[in-house]
């Protein structure tokens, strides 16, 4: 038996200092990477505290680990045998057997096995709904375009030419990453000048001035214009100091140009460059503006654009100060065609349609792959979402639907009869193995390489986008390339990926994602069905005179989702049915929508809001509109009871 250092014996005897002696070991082993609310081991009982926990939270967590300790035989405790992989552990070896780290963990296990159980049964403090200080959220490029459309009738979509936005936490609207670079600031200035000049070209052709000025110096009409336009542009009333500042600017330009509309033009140009237009605030210090912040939150969530007059009136009247008022306005907003555009933007980002833009395929292998086919792929997925959302269906059919909406090109790819009209409803027989988004060419194509499929990418997408589980990044320096295919060694992806599972440093993660992706192997790199793998091995430069070699290989598409019960499958249709009935997938829909609405990743303190909204979602029969309403209402009034 290995000797335990005296310091560790003292730890075992006293139960002291889990914070400095043991917790750092678990952090170094990256156990929290899987055992967290977003980790691949989230279904297990072991959950680490949120990021940057307090000392008290760490101490309480350490005592709560007693449920993984065998008090009769401590050495066989899961807390010790799992991370050392003395028993099967999907995460692989995290703590080397026989190391000092294991001895420290063993000392803590011994303490937990002998301490009075009543001292270990701690109740962790319940997280209160998340609140934060003032937050500024920059309008995304799509919100900028939409806001100018509704504010000025301007449809030039200038933001499409702005510097591209980065995806963070799966979306482009996460405020922690919304920096305004010098290049973007220049783009805002140029756009404001161009738009202001355009909308006042020839006077006031768009009717933005709500009164008929008697002269260029008409102060009454000027102040009314600034008050009305400022309310709409800033999504709140102008402060007296702001009103005076813009009035001075307006008057100087109008007098200089002897033109009322010239004064309006310069005021609009300056307002469009103001942070009050480009940003929207949440949790501001001025409580009198809170209803207007709520109005913006609802409109940019439901419509992805500015509030309309009715919503601003609801803010002014106090209607948005109650949960019932918020719900009433949300239901009204969802009746507008603008809500369809907003949901479409959410889906476009959630499902990463950007990855299909500019996608290339080896033309020798996929001659039918065209830009038009790529557009059809995303349109198919959008149509299925729209059917489920706006006809108030069960949104979980998104994963399991035995039908789709295809045009002639997609129908040909799917080997099903073409609909009478483009994107008509097409039934998918069981024999096609297709069902739901997992069999859509959009998903299958964006998770493939130019010449072949990528089971790893497909499995990773399912984990991250549909189960909301983070998979740790590969260790630095690890070779992620698969063995090449040659005419002497033709191999399936499963054979090539076996390298991952036989390598200890790779297996801990790849065992969680590759078995999922391998279940899609009967669908090629553009989503076409294949019963067997037909490899076409082209000659290299030294073999120019030789013809391409074709090899046919059997495909084993048995897959599973580690961590989910009864999750074995062999087709996308089967996996779609599993996901549709899995709480983790159902809850992930709510989490993804929350992230998009809130502009940030959820925190532990958001758990109650998301759980309550999810319960509303579930009780509605998984109606997506009800989830939107629940998230809006409960994020603003977390303590309010449901109707």
| Chain segment 14-36, per-residue pLDDT in tens | 444 788 888 888 888 888 777 87
- 3-state secondary structure at position 564: coil
- Residues 478 and 590 occupy one common structural domain: no
Can you read off the two tokens belonging to residue 472? 């740790």
Q: Identify the pLDDT of residue 9.
A: 42
Q: Identify the pLDDT of residue 15.
A: 43
- 3-state secondary structure at position 348: helix
- Residues 397 and 257 occupy one common structural domain: no
- Residues 402 and 512 occupy one common structural domain: yes
Q: How would you write 41-102 as a 3-class SS string?
A: CCCCCCCCCCCCCCHHHHHHHHHHHHHHCCCCCHHHCHHHHCCCCCCCCCCCCCCCCCCHHH
Q: Identify the pLDDT of residue 296.
A: 98
Q: Identify the pLDDT of residue 545.
A: 60
Name which of 2-11, 20-29, 417-426 the model is least confident about.
2-11
Share of the chain above pLDDT 70, in %: 90
- Residues 206 and 276 occupy one common structural domain: yes
| pLDDT of residue 82 exceeding 80 | yes
Q: How confident is the model at residue 471 (pLDDT cuts 50, 70, 90)?
A: confident
214 phi and psi angles, rounded to 5 deg: -85, -20
Domain stop point among 248, 268, 285: 285
- Residues 519 and 617 occupy one common structural domain: no
Query: Is 190 domain-assigned?
Result: yes
Query: Is 500 domain-assigned?
Result: yes
Q: Identify the pLDDT of residue 6.
A: 42
- Residues 96 and 230 occupy one common structural domain: no
Q: Identify the pLDDT of residue 242.
A: 97
Domain stop point among 89, 120, 151: 120
Q: How many CA atoms lie within 13 A of 643 on its CB side?
A: 12
| pLDDT of residue 119 exceeding 80 | no
Mean pLDDT over each residue of the chain, to the nearest integer: 89
Q: What's the domain count of the chain?
A: 4
Query: Is 319 domain-assigned?
Result: no
Q: Identify the pLDDT of residue 427.
A: 96
| pLDDT of residue 131 exceeding 60 | no
- Residues 516 and 536 occupy one common structural domain: yes
Q: Residues 229-254: pLDDT tens digits?
A: 999 999 999 999 999 999 999 999 99
CB 314 within 8 A of CB 307: no
Rounded mean pLDDT of 45-55? 79
Query: Is 127 domain-assigned?
Result: no
- Residues 190 and 77 occupy one common structural domain: no
Rounded mean pLDDT of 327-356? 97
CB 625 within 8 A of CB 334: yes
DSSP letter assigned to residue 2: P
Can you read off the two tokens belonging to residue 62? 């350490």
CA 614: distance to chain centroid?
16
Tell me how far apart the alpha carbons of residues 190 and 409 are, in angstroms, rounded to a whole number. 42
Q: Identify the pLDDT of residue 240.
A: 97
Query: Is 309 domain-assigned?
Result: no
Tell me how far apart the alpha carbons of residues 158 and 366 are, in angstroms, rounded to a whole number. 35
Q: Which domain holds residue 70?
A: 6-120
Of the candidates 444, 357, 343, the residue with the CA atom closest to the CA atom of residue 389: 343
Q: Identify the pLDDT of residue 13.
A: 42
Q: Identify the pLDDT of residue 171.
A: 96
Tell me how far apart the alpha carbons of residues 291 and 370 are, in angstroms, rounded to a whole number. 49
The single residue listed with the structure tokens 């190391």 is: 99
Higher pLDDT, 504 or 165: 165
Can you read off the two tokens belonging to residue 526? 């553009």
Q: Identify the pLDDT of residue 3.
A: 42
Q: Identify the pLDDT of residue 443.
A: 98
* CA distances, 135 to each of 129, 288, 324, 598, 599 (Å): 16, 16, 25, 11, 10
Q: Residues 389-399: pLDDT tens digits?
A: 999 999 999 99
DSSP letter assigned to residue 642: P
Q: How confident is the model at residue 478 (pLDDT cuts 50, 70, 90)?
A: low
Tell me how far apart the alpha carbons of residues 451 and 520 are, in angstroms, rounded to a whole number. 16
| pLDDT of residue 10 exceeding 60 | no
Query: Is 569 domain-assigned?
Result: yes
Q: Identify the pLDDT of residue 14.
A: 45
Q: Residues 485-513: pLDDT tens digits?
A: 767 677 888 888 887 666 666 766 778 89
CB 257 within 8 A of CB 216: yes
Query: Is 299 domain-assigned?
Result: no
Q: Residues 277-304: pLDDT tens digits?
A: 999 998 887 889 999 999 999 999 999 9
Bridge partners of residue 80, in order along the sequence: none
Neighbour-count burial for 350-389, b at 16+ CB within 10 Å, e otherwise: bbbbeebeebebeeebbeebeeebbebbbbbbbbbbebbb
Q: Residues 194-233: pLDDT tens digits?
A: 999 999 999 999 999 999 999 999 999 999 999 999 999 9
Share of the chain above pLDDT 90, in %: 65
- Residues 243 and 385 occupy one common structural domain: no
Q: Calculate helix-pair angle for 219-234, 240-257, nearest 10 degrees.
A: 130
Rounded mean pLDDT of 182-189? 96
| pLDDT of residue 114 exceeding 60 | yes
Q: Identify the pLDDT of residue 505.
A: 62
Q: How many CA atoms lie within 13 A of 508 on its CB side?
A: 23
| pLDDT of residue 332 exceeding 50 | yes
| pLDDT of residue 421 exceeding 50 | yes
- Residues 377 and 513 occupy one common structural domain: yes
Q: Residues 558-573: pLDDT tens digits?
A: 999 998 989 999 999 9
Of the candidates 635, 641, 638, the residue with the CA atom closest to the CA atom of residue 297: 635
Q: Residues 511-568: pLDDT tens digits?
A: 889 999 999 999 999 999 999 998 887 776 555 566 777 888 999 999 999 989 899 9
Q: Identify the pLDDT of residue 518.
A: 95
CB 302 within 8 A of CB 333: yes
Domain stop point among 258, 285, 312: 285
- Residues 144 and 51 occupy one common structural domain: no
Of the candidates 615, 633, 586, the residue with the CA atom closest to the CA atom of residue 43: 586
Query: Is 73 domain-assigned?
Result: yes
- Residues 78 and 226 occupy one common structural domain: no
């Amino acid at each position: 038996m290995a000797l335990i250092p005296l310091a560790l014996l003292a730890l075992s005897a006293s139960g002291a200092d889990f914070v400095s002696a043991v917790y750092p070991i678990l952090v170094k082993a990256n156990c929290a990477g899987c055992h967290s609310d977003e980790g691949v081991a989230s279904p297990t009982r072991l959950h680490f505290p949120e990021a940057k926990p307090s000392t008290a939270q760490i101490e309480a967590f350490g005592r709560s680990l007693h449920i993984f300790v065998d008090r009769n035989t401590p050495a066989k405790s899961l807390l010790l045998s799992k991370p050392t992989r003395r028993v099967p552990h999907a995460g692989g070896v995290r703590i080397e057997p026989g190391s000092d780290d294991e001895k420290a963990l063993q000392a803590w296990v011994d303490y937990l096995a002998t301490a009075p159980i009543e001292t270990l049964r701690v109740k962790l403090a319940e997280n209160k709904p998340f609140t934060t200080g003032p937050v500024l959220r920059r309008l995304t490029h799509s919100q900028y375009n939409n806001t100018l459309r509704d504010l000025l009738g301007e449809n030039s979509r200038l933001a499409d030419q702005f510097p591209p936005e980065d995806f963070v936490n799966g979306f482009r609207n996460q405020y922690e990453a919304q920096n305004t670079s010098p290049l973007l600031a220049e783009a805002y200035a140029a756009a404001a000048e161009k738009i202001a000049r355009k909308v006042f070209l020839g006077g006031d052709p768009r009717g933005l001035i709500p009164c008929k000025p008697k002269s260029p110096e008409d102060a009454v009409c000027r102040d009314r214009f600034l008050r009305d336009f400022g309310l709409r542009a800033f999504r709140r009333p102008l402060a007296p100091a702001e009103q005076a500042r813009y009035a001075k600017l307006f008057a100087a330009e109008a007098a200089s140009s002897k033109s009322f509309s010239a004064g309006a033009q310069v005021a609009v140009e300056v307002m469009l460059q103001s942070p009050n237009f480009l940003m929207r605030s949440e949790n501001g210090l001025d409580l009198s503006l809170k209803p207007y912040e709520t109005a913006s939150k609802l409109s940019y969530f439901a419509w992805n654009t500015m509030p309309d007059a009715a919503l601003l009136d609801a803010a002014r009247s106090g209607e948005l100060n109650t949960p019932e008022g918020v719900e009433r306005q949300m239901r009204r907003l969802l009746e507008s065609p603008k809500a369809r555009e907003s949901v479409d933007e959410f889906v476009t980002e959630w499902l990463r349609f950007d990855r299909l833009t500019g996608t290339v395929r080896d033309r020798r292998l996929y001659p039918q792959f065209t830009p038009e086919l790529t557009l059809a792929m995303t349109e198919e997925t959008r149509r299925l979402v729209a059917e489920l959302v706006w006809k108030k269906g069960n949104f979980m059919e998104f994963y399991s639907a035995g039908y789709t909406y295809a045009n002639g090109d997609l129908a040909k790819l799917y080997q099903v009869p073409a609909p009478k009209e483009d994107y008509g409803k097409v039934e998918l027989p069981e024999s096609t193995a297709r069902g739901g988004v997992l069999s859509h060419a959009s998903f299958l194509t964006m998770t493939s390489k130019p010449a072949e499929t990528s089971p790893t990418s497909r499995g990773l997408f399912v984990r991250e986008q549909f189960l909301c589980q983070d998979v740790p990044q590969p260790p630095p320096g690890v070779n992620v390339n698969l063995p090449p295919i040659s005419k002497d060694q033709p191999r399936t992806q499963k054979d090539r990926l076996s390298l991952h599972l036989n390598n200890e440093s790779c297996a801990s993660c790849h065992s969680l994602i590759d078995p999922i992706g391998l279940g899609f192997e009967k669908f090629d790199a553009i989503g076409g069905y294949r019963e067997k793998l037909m490899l076409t091995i082209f000659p290299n430069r030294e073999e120019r005179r030789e013809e391409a070699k074709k090899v046919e290989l059997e495909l084993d598409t048995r897959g599973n989702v580690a961590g989910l019960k009864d999750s074995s499958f062999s087709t996308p249709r089967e996996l779609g049915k599993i996901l549709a009935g899995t709480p983790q997938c159902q809850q992930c829909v709510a989490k993804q929508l929350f992230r998009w609405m809130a502009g940030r990743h959820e925190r532990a303190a958001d758990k109650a809001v998301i759980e309550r909204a999810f319960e509303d979602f579930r009780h509605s029969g998984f109606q997506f509109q009800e989830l939107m309403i629940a998230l809006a209402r409960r994020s603003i009034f977390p303590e309010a009871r449901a109707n």
